[in-house]
Amino acid sequence: MDEPRRAPIHPSLIRPLLLGGAERELVLLNGTIIAALIFGVGFHWVSLTIAGLLATIGHWALTRAAKYDPRLSRIYVRHVRYQPYYPARPLSAAPPGWVYRSVED
């Protein structure tokens, strides 16, 4: 009983959700833009060319980004939300810290 209990975890529980090898949300966004170009703008050769380029080169770029990091868009959104500078002390309007009482009181 010195060794901790080990339980196998199926890889599908920890694998990121990819669609066609790219991030699911970005693939759906790319597909929506392609559909809007084809059906919204019309069947012009310019819109069909741009939609074809988005379908091939766009999806290829999304799969390359997903191979680099499957959660790249979420990390980018988190990075954008960071402040450029954090002061060394809290502002005067900062809420006070939590005070915990000990169980012995």
pTM of the model: 0.69
- What are the tens digits of pLDDT across the range 6-53? 889 998 888 888 999 999 999 999 999 999 999 998 889 999 999 999
66 CB contacts (<8 Å, ≥6 apart)? 16, 18, 21, 22, 23, 72
Which runs of E-coded beta strand occur in the chain? 18-19, 22-23
Give a yes or no: residue 14 inside a domain: no
Domain that holds residue 74: 19-81
Give a yes or no: residue 7 inside a domain: no
Residues 73 and 104: their CA atoms lie apart, in Å, by 48
In the chain, what percentage of residues exceed pLDDT 90? 58
Is residue 12 helix, strand or coil?
helix
pLDDT above 60 for 58: yes
Give a yes or no: residue 33 inside a domain: yes
Residues 71 and 21: their CA atoms lie apart, in Å, by 12
Predicted local distance difference test score (pLDDT) of residue 88: 77
Give a yes or no: residue 59 inside a domain: yes
23 CB contacts (<8 Å, ≥6 apart)? 16, 62, 65, 66, 70, 71, 72, 73
Give a yes or no: residue 105 inside a domain: no
pLDDT above 60 for 105: no
Give a yes or no: residue 60 inside a domain: yes
Give a yes or no: residue 51 inside a domain: yes
- The overall average pLDDT reported for the chain is 88
Give a yes or no: residue 66 inside a domain: yes
Total domains, the chain = 1
